[in-house]
């Protein structure tokens, strides 16, 4: 649904997007993570046909972003939540959405149904006749999300969709994105919120001008370190360590805690626990130490610096 091959964008001597290649399938939620200034918004703007590429190729639903006729077709099938919401402050919430619905050539019936649906969903229906200039940042953000969906697009480009939102509103937006996914919408999500990406994204790309890593959240997490088992003991003794020596394990001790690299936790943990208990160890708990998406992100970004 979204394809890029060696996509590059330069601004003078600055290369903002450097040979980006990716393939996002229909119905997939793709998270694009990276530090400020990494080129994420530039990439989104190229794919949404707002700015031109310098080199490479990009296609949206089979349409070429560099072809003038195709770019008009792309604009009809995508919805965009930009970095800056760009609403009309001197129009009401309802009239803002109605105006954009007309630009997309939505029928009056479709506009009316969609406007009511999205304003109700996002908690703005009671504010439909209020001038947008009086709205808070969070309210404007939610209205801009409704605007991106007013024409029922196949593909959504969302640049920080939960920015400026309170926790309850952020949860509403996340759940709404998952609803859109169930409707087979394809979603390209720029975000700094790692927890949000982990919850809703099928695949994540970590990007800093270049694509540094790509995979499911689980695949990225597993790239940080191998499985580790943590055993908290009443006391770590020489007898316990000697009992574990025969397994040739990589063991780190911290006070009364053992951190052990294991290849297969389900198979190895019972054997390790039996050895510890057999050596007189009094176990307080056994748990798995799992890397997080934040661990993976920080490791990958630092390696690329």
pLDDT of residue 265: 86
Cβ atoms 34, 207 nearer than 8 A: yes
Pairing mode of beta strands 78-81, 29-33: unpaired
| Angstrom distance (rounded) from CA 272 to CA 184 | 46
CA angle 94, 49, 100 (to 5 degrees): 10
| Angstrom distance (rounded) from CA 304 to CA 210 | 9
pLDDT of residue 152: 92
pLDDT of residue 166: 86
Secondary structure percentages of the chain, helix, strand, coil, to 5: 40, 30, 30
Closest CA relative to residue 138, chosen from 150, 154, 127, 153: 127
Question: What does residue 28 show for φ and ψ, rounded to 5 degrees?
Answer: -95, 140
The string of pLDDT tens digits covering residues 65-101 is 999 999 999 999 999 999 888 899 999 999 999 999 9
Helix (H, G, I), strand (E, B) or coil at 283: strand
| Angstrom distance (rounded) from CA 126 to CA 119 | 8
What strands lie across the sheet with 257-261, from one edge to the other?
251-254, 257-261, 228-233, 283-289
Contacts of 272 by beta carbon, 8 Å cutoff, 6+ apart: 229, 231, 244, 247, 249, 260, 262
Domains along the chain with CATH numbers = 2-215 (3.40.50.300), 228-291 (3.30.70.100)
Cβ atoms 99, 127 nearer than 8 A: no
Contacts of 216 by beta carbon, 8 Å cutoff, 6+ apart: 202, 203, 204
Cβ atoms 97, 111 nearer than 8 A: yes
pLDDT of residue 305: 61
Contacts of 95 by beta carbon, 8 Å cutoff, 6+ apart: 88
The string of pLDDT tens digits covering residues 243-292 is 999 888 899 998 899 999 888 888 999 999 999 999 999 999 999 887 78
| Angstrom distance (rounded) from CA 19 to CA 4 | 9
Closest CA relative to residue 17, chosen from 208, 159, 192: 208
pLDDT of residue 292: 83
Q: Which residues of the chain have pLDDT under 70?
A: 304-305
């Amino acid at each position: 649904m979204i394809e890029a091959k060696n996509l590059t964008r330069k601004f003078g001597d600055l290369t903002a997007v450097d040979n980006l290649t990716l393939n996002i399938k229909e119905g997939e939620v793709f998270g694009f993570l990276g530090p400020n200034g990494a080129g994420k918004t530039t990439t989104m703007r190229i794919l949404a046909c707002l700015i031109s590429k310098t080199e490479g190729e990009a296609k949206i639903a089979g349409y070429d972003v560099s072809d003038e006729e195709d770019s008009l077709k792309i604009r009809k099938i995508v919805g965009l939540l930009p970095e800056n919401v760009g609403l009309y402050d001197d129009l009401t919430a309802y009239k803002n959405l109605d105006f954009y619905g007309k630009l997309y050539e939505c029928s009056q019936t479709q506009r009316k149904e969609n406007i009511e649906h999205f304003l109700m969903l996002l908690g703005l229906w009671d504010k439909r006749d209020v001038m947008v200039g009086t709205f808070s940042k969070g309210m404007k953000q939610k209205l801009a999300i409704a605007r991106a969906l007013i024409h029922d697009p196949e593909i959504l480009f969302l640049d920080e969709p939960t920015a400026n939102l309170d926790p309850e509103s952020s949860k509403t937006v996340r759940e709404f994105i998952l609803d859109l996914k169930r409707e087979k919408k394809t979603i390209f999500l720029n975000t700094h919120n790692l927890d949000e990406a982990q919850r809703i994204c099928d695949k994540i790309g970590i990007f800093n001008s270049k694509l540094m890593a790509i995979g499911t959240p689980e695949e990225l997490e597993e790239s940080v370190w191998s499985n580790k088992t943590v055993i908290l003991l009443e006391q770590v003794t020489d007898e316990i360590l000697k009992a574990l020596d025969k397994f040739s394990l990589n063991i780190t001790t911290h006070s009364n805690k053992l951190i052990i690299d294991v290849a297969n936790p389900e198979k190895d943990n019972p054997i390790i626990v039996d050895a510890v208990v057999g050596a007189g160890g009094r176990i307080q708990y056994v748990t798995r130490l799992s890397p997080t998406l934040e661990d993976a992100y920080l490791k990958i970004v630092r390696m690329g610096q």
